[in-house]
Amino acid sequence: MVEFKIVISDPKTGKSYSYEAKDDVAEALIGKKIGDKIDGKLFDLEGYELEITGGTDNAGFMMKASIEGTQRKAIVVPKGKGFWKTRKGVRARKTFAGNTIYEKTAQVNCKIIKYGKKPLEEPAEENAQEEN
């Protein structure tokens, strides 16, 4: 049983929404890469279109678009995501996950590129309103 946490970012408002992808929805994401487009119908978001922007694997290593496949690689990076040293000329070897979603992916980050008619709402907010 494959399960992912999906984080959808709304560029207009700057808010992020979290969803759980299980079973059929998660299976549909396996094999997708960073930069691929996803139909919002997978998450009951009619009319929305999403783009995969990144994610992390089960050990917490973030996905990097330039690493093909599902494997982890330790590469030398001079700057960018995952690199915190700011002195001039400093480089370090950092481990990143590949750009493809697979069974051991824990989180998938997406952004909205096409909006639907229904506005996004936090799933937790809906549950809290029902309880009150």
Task: Please report the DSSP string for 78-109 in residue order.
Answer: SSSTT----STT--EEEEEE-SB--TTEEEEE
What is the β-pairing status of strands 92-97 and 72-77?
A: antiparallel
Per-residue pLDDT in tens (0 to 9) along the chain, 132 residues: 789 999 999 999 999 999 898 888 999 999 999 999 999 888 888 899 999 999 999 999 999 999 999 999 999 888 777 676 667 778 888 899 999 999 999 999 999 999 988 887 755 444 444 444
Q: What is the identity of the amino acid at 100?
A: T
Residue 46's contacts (CB-CB under 8 Å, 6 or more residues apart) are 40, 116, 117, 118
Strands 16-22 and 3-9: antiparallel
Domain ranges of the chain: 3-66+100-125
Q: Which amino acid is at 132?
A: N
